[in-house]
């Protein structure tokens, strides 16, 4: 083959490669446009929203597999992580956000992705993984503690750094007041106040078990490791956590672990049906007052799921423990002696 023929051959190959790439790119753009319409995607500057469910999540996964180098990959990776997070599949959400951040470290979704990656590890009972990511956010956004303050305080408390957690919370409250951003405080403070309960005895209360009528109070619970679990049938995150509560109860009840569920339902029939269906065979309190539930008022609960883990002496040892961490912390408390 002479030189002219070789050059022509190279040109033809190059043309074909460009043509194939161009077609693939056009197909990806068309498929993404179709997908975005099906999922009802809405875009803001640094946010995206979409209709999330398992079927739509499968469509996102299929797009990523079909188009591993499409320009739309960044958006689809974000939507995948967003969907997993919204479905409360926190064990999977953290790694999904991590993939986005690794492939697109300068993504316009980075700030929220970083927060949710850390929170996913926290919500799936992995505070040791959450903590360094939250500290990195604190370093990068020292003037925006409201973005990560709740999660960082929880993580510090859960890895045994309660004194540091208290100091951090005090600093955040002082800073928000000083900067006249106190409108942000009530919601943050409601979480801070729960964390401040760690190491303190349960407040006084006296109610009756919903089914047996037996009294329930701090004295009746002493000698047991107790999970006080605030929940409701209408709370999806509560129901997502329920399998972990059931597993801990099933495995540890014989060793002295007690679950005390506090329902914030208004409909007793619905609550009773859920208890029976899910075989939630433990202590329950129900008064039909929703957020004004007697114990929700005593414990200043304004969001659920919310929980406290209490040791045999009636001392709060952890709050809002989630996922597999619940059983791990409960086992550790059961091993402790009361001497």
User: In the listed set 92, 122, 152, which residue is the last one of a domain according to the structure?
Assistant: 122
Q: Identify whether residues 228 and 139 lie together within a single domain.
A: no
Long-range Cβ contact pairs of 50-54 (< 8 A, separation 24 or more): 50/79, 50/82, 50/83, 52/82, 52/83, 52/86, 52/87, 53/83, 53/87, 54/87
Q: Identify whether residues 281 and 190 lie together within a single domain.
A: no
For residue 58, being part of any structural domain is answered with: yes
Note the Cα 96 to chain centre separation in Å.
13
Structure tokens given for 155:
């993580």
Q: What is the pLDDT of residue 182?
A: 80
For residue 257, being part of any structural domain is answered with: yes
Q: pTM (2 decimals)? A: 0.85
CA distance 133 to 71: 28
For residue 17, being part of any structural domain is answered with: no
Q: Identify whether residues 118 and 138 lie together within a single domain.
A: no
Q: Identify whether residues 166 and 212 lie together within a single domain.
A: no
For residue 225, being part of any structural domain is answered with: yes
CA-based torsion, 249, 250, 256, 258: positive or negative: positive
Prior bond of 305 cis (ω within 30°): yes
Q: At 196, give phi and psi (nearest 5°).
A: -70, -15
Q: What is the pLDDT of residue 2?
A: 55
Q: Identify whether residues 32 and 116 lie together within a single domain.
A: yes
CA distance 178 to 14: 63
Question: Among 320, 268, 261, which Cα is nearest to 289's?
Answer: 268
Instruction: Indicate which CATH number applies to the domain containing 105.
Output: 1.25.40.10
Q: Identify whether residues 224 and 300 lie together within a single domain.
A: yes
Containing structural domain, residue 186 = 126-195
For residue 20, being part of any structural domain is answered with: no
Question: Among 300, 88, 326, 296, which Cα is nearest to 191's?
Answer: 300
Q: Identify whether residues 165 and 222 lie together within a single domain.
A: no
For residue 18, being part of any structural domain is answered with: no
Residue 229, SS3? strand
Q: Identify whether residues 146 and 173 lie together within a single domain.
A: yes
Mean pLDDT for each consecutive 10-residue tract of the chain (339 residues)? 48 42 71 96 93 97 95 97 95 97 96 97 94 97 94 96 97 92 86 96 96 96 97 95 96 97 97 96 97 96 95 96 93 84
For residue 251, being part of any structural domain is answered with: yes
For residue 202, being part of any structural domain is answered with: no
CA distance 139 to 98: 19
Q: Identify whether residues 214 and 327 lie together within a single domain.
A: yes
User: In the listed set 122, 147, 162, which residue is the last one of a domain according to the structure?
Assistant: 122
Based on its alpha-carbon atoms, the radius of gyration of the chain, rounded to whole angstroms, reads: 25
Instruction: Indicate which CATH number applies to the domain containing 320.
Output: 3.40.30.10
User: In the listed set 195, 218, 244, which residue is the last one of a domain according to the structure?
Assistant: 195
Q: Identify whether residues 191 and 270 lie together within a single domain.
A: no
Q: Which residue has the tokens 């009773």?
A: 272
Q: Identify whether residues 221 and 293 lie together within a single domain.
A: yes
- What domain count does the chain have? 3
Q: Identify whether residues 217 and 327 lie together within a single domain.
A: yes
Helices (H), the chain: 3-38, 54-66, 73-86, 90-103, 110-123, 127-140, 149-158, 162-178, 185-195, 218-221, 236-252, 268-277, 294-298, 325-335
CA distance 254 to 96: 38
Q: What is the pLDDT of residue 25?
A: 65
């Amino acid at each position: 083959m002479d030189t002219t023929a070789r050059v022509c051959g190279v040109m033809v190959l190059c043309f074909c490669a460009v043509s194939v790439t161009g077609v693939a790119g056009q197909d990806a753009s068309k498929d993404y446009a179709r997908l975005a319409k099906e999922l009802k995607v809405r875009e803001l500057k640094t946010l995206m929203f979409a209709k999330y469910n398992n079927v739509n999540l499968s469509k996102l996964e299929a797009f990523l597999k079909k188009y591993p180098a499409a320009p739309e990959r960044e958006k689809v990776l974000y939507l995948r992580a967003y969907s997993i997070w919204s479905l409360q599949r926190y064990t999977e959400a953290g790694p999904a956000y991590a993939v986005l951040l690794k492939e697109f470290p300068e993504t316009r979704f980075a700030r929220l992705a970083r927060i949710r990656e850390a929170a996913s590890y926290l919500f799936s009972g992995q505070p040791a993984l959450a903590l360094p990511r939250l500290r990195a956010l604190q370093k990068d956004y020292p003037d925006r503690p409201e973005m990560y303050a709740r999660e960082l305080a929880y993580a510090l408390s859960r890895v045994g750094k309660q004194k540091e957690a208290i100091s951090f919370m005090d600093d955040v409250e002082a800073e928000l007041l000083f900067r006249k951003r106190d409108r942000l405080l009530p919601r943050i403070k409601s979480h801070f106040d729960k964390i401040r309960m760690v190491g303190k005895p349960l407040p006084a209360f006296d109610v009756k078990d919903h089914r047996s009528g037996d009294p329930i109070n701090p004295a009746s619970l002493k000698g047991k490791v107790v999970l006080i679990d605030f929940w409701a049938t209408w709370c999806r995150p509560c129901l997502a956590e329920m399998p972990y509560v059931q597993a801990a109860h099933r495995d540890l009840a014989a060793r002295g672990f007690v679950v005390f569920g506090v329902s914030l339902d208004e409909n007793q029939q619905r609550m009773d049906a859920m208890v029976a269906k899910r075989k939630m065979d433990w202590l329950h309190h129900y008064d039909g007052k929703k957020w004004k539930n007697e114990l929700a008022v005593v414990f200043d609960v304004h969001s659920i799921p919310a929980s406290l883990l209490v040791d045999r002496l009636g001392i709060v040892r952890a709050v809002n423990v989630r996922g597999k961490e619940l059983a791990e912390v409960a086992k550790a408390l059961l091993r402790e002696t009361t001497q």
